[in-house]
Each structure stands twice: as C-alpha cells, then as structure tokens.
Amino acid sequence: MVRFVLGIIGMVGFGVAAIICTILFLVIPFAAADRVFLSLLIPFAAAFVVSAFFMNAGAKRRGAIARLGRYSALFDMRRTVLNIEDITAQTGISPKQVRQDMRHALEWRLHFDLYMDHGEKAIMRGRETYRQYLECERLRKEKETEEAARQSRLSDPETATLEAFRVEGYAILDKIRAANVVLPGEEISSKLSKLERTTKRIFDHIEKHPGKIPETRRLMNYHLPTTLKLVERYCQYDIMEYQPENVVKAKAEIENALETVDVAFGNFLESLFHEDTLDITTDAEVLKQMLEQEGLTGKPFEFIADQEKGEKT
C-alpha cells in the first residue's frame, strides 16, 4: 500500500511539474529560460517514471495479496490441500496466475501460511501440512533411489542372484511382519516375532555368503511361502466375529506349526554355519598339533583368556 500510494503521489506531483516545465519551455522564447526549464523537465520526467514503477509494483502486490486471501479462504479444517485446478474452478483465476501469486508470496515473504508443492500442482495451508509433504517427498526420493539401485543390481550378473534372493525373501518377511502388527494376540505375536528374528538372521548370513544361496532353494520355494500362507489364513480367522470350534482348532494348529517352523529355521541357520565352524575347528586342531610336534607348548595347546589383565598365553 505504501508503494502504491507514494507512486500515485509521485506520479501526480512530478507529472504536473513536468507538464508545467514543458509548457513554459514551449511558451517562453528566451534561450536562457529554455535551458532552465529543460534542465528541470528531465529529472521531473525521470521521477515520474520511477513513481509509475512504484505504483505498478504496489498495485501488483495489492492484487496478489487480495488473490492470496481468496485462496486462503477456500481452506477449512478438513481441507488443507487443494489442487490448483480446483482453485481455478472456484475463483476463476488462471492456473498461471495462481502459481505466479504463490511465487510472489515466497519472494515477498507474504505470511499467508500457504505453501506450494515442488511440482506447482497443489497449494497447502499450514506449516505442519507442508512439513508432512516434505517428509513424503524425502521418502519418495529415497524409494526412487533404492529402486534404481535395486534395478542396477538386478541387471549386474555378479549381484543379480543375491538381489533376487533379497527381494523375494524380504517381500515375504515384510508380509509376516505386517500380519504381526495387526494381530492382537500376545502368544501369536510372540511366535511371529521370534520367527521374524530367526528368518532375518538367515537372510543376513546369506547376504554375507551369497555362495550358499543354492542351499536355501527349499526354504524360499516352499517353507517360507507356506509359512506366509498359514499366517495369512490365521489373520482371516482372527477377524471373524463368530469363530466355530473347527476355526479355533485350526488357529491352535497354526500356532503350533509356527513354533515348529521357528525350530526348523533355527536348525537350518545352524547348518549354514556348519561348514564355517568345521573349517575353523580343523584349522585350530592342525595348528595345535603342529605346535605340540615342534615342542613349543610343553603341554596340550590351549588359549587362556585373562579378562582382568587382558593377557593371552
């Protein structure tokens, strides 16, 4: 408003002064007077142009503020996000003008508590709504980055097998974890949590030792999918309002089966470590025998850990 008012006052004052100087310049025939009036006319005309610029800038801001007020009035407690097309339909203001007003609001720091998304397709009201949008954008970009990396690993012959194992395995594990979240029973939840931990340990070991993927063929092709099928069937039974005796019995059998599955998965995990432990045990035994044969021990070879002194013999 200040720019607008000062611009009008300047335009009127300097415009009148410029007109008077022009008239005097044309009417008075003295060369000396002409030079005086001409020297005054140029700065008055320049000041008039500057005043016109201020008035135009003020008018633009006034118009933008008025339109921003109309945009803000469209929101309520239930609607905190509106598409620009919806705003255009309700106000008759073109999408181009709406986007320009929002850019001006940011540039001029007009505090209408309105924000525009990065794609300039929607307007949201409230800092919390905008914070949630930014968080969603961050997660979306992270997901896109992860997906691009996953596709790259799948296209690389050296990492494709491990990546396919990871994708397939964690897809099943995520579904079991989601079922665990929605199931209210403590006993079934405890069994599923234990199963999740055991399965996650298997996956972690395979990621460190991709050469053992062939050993997981039955686990991935049958055991895990069948376990997921049992868990999903249990979820279907659990949400039934009326549960006949055979359903209750089926749920109990599934719970017992999950406990057996966890034991079996634990044994499978131990079998994955068997070759490693066998190799290290063999190396330790060979080292012991060599040291004894060379007479360097004087007694059966062993490690003695002294935790208090931090010494080894």
* 188-215 confidence digits (pLDDT tens): 889 999 999 999 999 998 888 888 888 8
Of 9, 35, 62, which residue sits at a domain end? 62
228 pLDDT higher than 90? yes
Most confident of 19-23, 157-161, 254-258: 254-258
147 and 111 in a common domain: yes
- pLDDT computed for residue 193 by the predictor: 92
56 and 1 in a common domain: yes
Task: Say if 303 falls within a structural domain.
Answer: no
272 and 193 in a common domain: yes
147 and 255 in a common domain: no
122 and 85 in a common domain: yes
Domain containing residue 23 = 1-62
97-101, 148-152, 216-220: which has the minimum mean pLDDT? Answer: 148-152
Residue 64 in contact with residue 26, Cβ under 8 Å? Answer: no
Give the C-alpha separation, 291 to 298, whole Å: 9
Give the C-alpha separation, 19 to 6, whole Å: 19
Task: Say if 265 falls within a structural domain.
Answer: yes
Q: What is the DSSP letter of 30?
A: -
Mean pLDDT of the chain: 79
Give the C-alpha separation, 237 to 142, whole Å: 37
Of 155, 182, 208, which residue sits at a domain end? 155
Give the C-alpha separation, 255 to 238, whole Å: 12
166 and 83 in a common domain: no
Task: Say if 88 falls within a structural domain.
Answer: yes
Task: List phi, psi (to 5°) of 94.
Answer: -65, 150
Q: How confident is the model at residue 226 (pLDDT cuts 50, 70, 90)?
A: very high
- pLDDT computed for residue 310 by the predictor: 46
pLDDT of 126-163, one tens digit each?
888 889 999 999 999 998 888 888 788 778 777 788 88
Indicate the SS3 state at residue 237.
helix
299 pLDDT higher than 60? no
CA 260 to mean position of chain CA atoms: 38
Q: How confident is the model at residue 240 (pLDDT cuts 50, 70, 90)?
A: confident
Residue with the larger pLDDT of the pair 274 and 190: 190
- pLDDT computed for residue 37 by the predictor: 56
Q: How confident is the model at residue 309 (pLDDT cuts 50, 70, 90)?
A: very low
Percentage of the residues of the chain whose pLDDT score is greater than 70: 69
271 and 165 in a common domain: yes
Residue 28 in contact with residue 48, Cβ under 8 Å? Answer: no
284 and 173 in a common domain: yes
Task: List phi, psi (to 5°) of 306.
Answer: -105, 100
Task: Say if 219 falls within a structural domain.
Answer: yes
Q: How confident is the model at residue 281 (pLDDT cuts 50, 70, 90)?
A: low
270 and 189 in a common domain: yes
How much is the pTM? 0.51
Of 120, 139, 155, which residue sits at a domain end? 155
111 and 173 in a common domain: no
Task: Say if 306 falls within a structural domain.
Answer: no
Task: Say if 268 falls within a structural domain.
Answer: yes
Percentage of the residues of the chain whose pLDDT score is greater than 90: 21
**Structural domains of the chain, count:** 3
CA 239 to mean position of chain CA atoms: 32
97 and 150 in a common domain: yes
